[in-house]
A and B are shown apart, each in its own frame.
Chain A
Amino acid sequence: MKFKDFFSFKMSEIDFPSLALVFLLSGVGLIAIYSATSFIGSEANMQYFWKQIMGIAAGLAMFIMLYSVRKSFLLSYAEVLFIVGVILIIIPFILSTVSSGTNRWINLGAFQVQPSEYMKFILIIMLAKIFSETHRSPLQPGYVLYPLGVLAIPSILVFLQPDLGTTLIYIAIFAAMLFASGYRLYYMFLILAPFITVLAAFNSWVFLVWGVIVAVIIFLNNKNVLFSVGMFLMNILVGVMTPFFWNGIKPYQQQRILTMLNPHLDPMGAGYQVIQSQIAIGSGGFHGKGFLQGTQAHLNFLPEQHTDFIFSVISEEFGFIGITLILFVYCFLVLRWFRMALTAKSTFSAMLIIGGTTALLAHIFINVGMTVGLLPVTGKPLPFISYGGSFLMTSFGLVGLVLNGNAE
Chain B
Amino acid sequence: MPHEVKNRMGKYRVITLFVLAFVLFMVLVIRFYSLQIVNYATYRSEAVGNMLNRIDISAPRGIVYDRNGKKLIYNVPCYNIVVYPDIIKQHPETWEKLEKLTNVSIEKLKKTMKRNQYGSYRPAIVLRNIDSKLNAVINESIQDLPGVEVSFDPIREYSNKILSGNVLGYTAEIRRRDLYKYRNLGYKLGDIIGYDGIEKQYENLLKGERGYRYKQVNSMGKPLSDQAYEQTNPIPGNALYLTIDQDMQAHAESLMTDYNGAAIMMNYENGELVACVSSPSYDSDMFTEGLTQTEWDSIVQDKRIPLFNRAIRGQYPPGSIYKMVAAMAALEKNVITPETQFECTGVYDMGGRHFKCSHVHGIENLNEAIAHSCNIYFYNVILELGVDDWSAYAKKMTFGELTGIDLPGELGGICPDRSFLDQQYGRRKWWKGMWLNMVIGQGDVLVTPLQALRYAGILATHGKVVTPHLLKTIHYTQNNSIEKPDYPISYVDDISRSTWKEIDAGMLNAVQSNWGTGRTANVPGLDMYGKTGTAQNPHGEPHGWFIGFSKLKDFPYAVVVFVEHGQSGSDIAAPVAGQLLKAYYYMREQ
**A122-141, CB < 8 A from B:** 132-135
CB <8 Å contact, B3 and A133? yes
CB <8 Å contact, B47 and A280? yes
CB <8 Å contact, B224 and A342? no
Query: Which residue of chain A lies nearest to B217 when distances are taken between CB atoms in the complex?
Result: A299
Residues in A neighbouring B478, C-beta threshold 8 A = none
Query: How near does chain B come to A188, taking the closest CB pair, in angstroms?
Result: 11
CB <8 Å contact, B9 and A372? no
A contact residues vs B (CB 8 Å cutoff) = 39-41, 75, 132-135, 176, 179-182, 276, 278-286, 295-296, 299-301, 315, 319-320, 323-324, 327, 330-331, 334-335, 338-339, 341-351, 354, 357-358, 361, 365, 368-369, 372, 374
16 additional A-B residue pairs with CB within 8 Å, beyond A281-B36, A282-B46, A324-B29: A180-B13, A180-B14, A283-B44, A296-B47, A299-B218, A315-B32, A319-B36, A330-B25, A331-B22, A334-B25, A335-B18, A338-B14, A339-B14, A346-B4, A347-B3, A347-B4
CB <8 Å contact, A179 and B13? yes
Given A347-B7, A351-B9 in contact, is the A315-B36 Cβ separation under 8 Å? yes
Query: How near does chain B come to A394, taking the closest CB pair, in angstroms?
Result: 19
CB <8 Å contact, A135 and B25? no
Query: How near does chain A come to B489, taking the closest CB pair, in angstroms?
Result: 59
Query: How near does chain B come to A388, taking the closest CB pair, in angstroms?
Result: 22
Residues in B neighbouring A335, C-beta threshold 8 A = 18, 21-22
**B1-20, CB < 8 A from A:** 2-11, 13-14, 16-18
The complex places the Cα of A279 from the Cα of B36 at a distance, in Å, of: 9
Query: How near does chain B come to A176, taking the closest CB pair, in angstroms?
Result: 6
Residues in A neighbouring B185, C-beta threshold 8 A = none
Query: How near does chain B come to A126, taking the closest CB pair, in angstroms?
Result: 14
Query: How near does chain B come to A172, taking the closest CB pair, in angstroms?
Result: 11
CB <8 Å contact, B42 and A282? yes
The complex places the Cα of A300 from the Cα of B51 at a distance, in Å, of: 10
Given A286-B36, A334-B21 in contact, is the A350-B44 Cβ separation under 8 Å? no
The complex places the Cα of A285 from the Cα of B46 at a distance, in Å, of: 13
Query: How near does chain B come to A219, taking the closest CB pair, in angstroms?
Result: 25
Residues in B neighbouring A348, C-beta threshold 8 A = 3
Of the residues B4, B32, B40, B216, contact of A299 by C-beta under 8 Å: B216
CB <8 Å contact, B44 and A132? no
The complex places the Cα of A351 from the Cα of B4 at a distance, in Å, of: 13
**B134-179, CB < 8 A from A:** none
Interface of A is mostly: helix
CB <8 Å contact, A338 and B2? no
Query: Which residue of chain A lies nearest to B24 when distances are taken between CB atoms in the complex?
Result: A365
The complex places the Cα of A385 from the Cα of B458 at a distance, in Å, of: 89
Residue pairs across A and B with Cβ atoms less than 8 A apart, 9 shown, are A132-B8, A134-B4, A180-B9, A279-B43, A296-B47, A300-B220, A320-B33, A323-B32, A346-B3
CB <8 Å contact, A283 and B9? no
The complex places the Cα of A334 from the Cα of B25 at a distance, in Å, of: 10
CB <8 Å contact, A39 and B218? yes
Given A283-B44, A315-B32 in contact, is the A299-B50 Cβ separation under 8 Å? yes
Given A176-B17, A339-B18 in contact, is the A279-B46 Cβ separation under 8 Å? yes
Residues in B neighbouring A357, C-beta threshold 8 A = 21
Among B10, B42, B47, residue most surrounded by chain A Cβ atoms (within 10 Å) = B47
The complex places the Cα of A13 from the Cα of B414 at a distance, in Å, of: 109
The complex places the Cα of A180 from the Cα of B35 at a distance, in Å, of: 34
The complex places the Cα of A272 from the Cα of B28 at a distance, in Å, of: 21
The complex places the Cα of A350 from the Cα of B2 at a distance, in Å, of: 16
Residues in A neighbouring B42, C-beta threshold 8 A = 282
Residues in A neighbouring B27, C-beta threshold 8 A = 374
Of the residues B5, B8, B43, B216, contact of A282 by C-beta under 8 Å: B43
Query: How near does chain B come to A58, taking the closest CB pair, in angstroms?
Result: 27
Given A345-B5, A345-B7, A348-B3 in contact, is the A331-B25 Cβ separation under 8 Å? yes
A-B residue pairs, 4 tightest by C-beta:
A282-B43, A283-B47, A331-B25, A320-B36
Query: How near does chain A come to B44, taking the closest CB pair, in angstroms?
Result: 5
Residues in B neighbouring A182, C-beta threshold 8 A = 8-10, 13
CB <8 Å contact, A301 and B50? yes
CB <8 Å contact, A282 and B14? no
CB <8 Å contact, B3 and A299? no
Query: How near does chain B come to A178, taking the closest CB pair, in angstroms?
Result: 10
Given A285-B40, A315-B36, A368-B28 in contact, is the A180-B10 Cβ separation under 8 Å? yes
The complex places the Cα of A369 from the Cα of B30 at a distance, in Å, of: 12
Asked whether B427 is an interface residue with its Cβ less than 8 Å from the other chain, the reply is no
Binary CB contact string for chain B from 515 to 543 against chain A (1 if under 8 A, 0 otherwise)? 00000000000000000000000000000
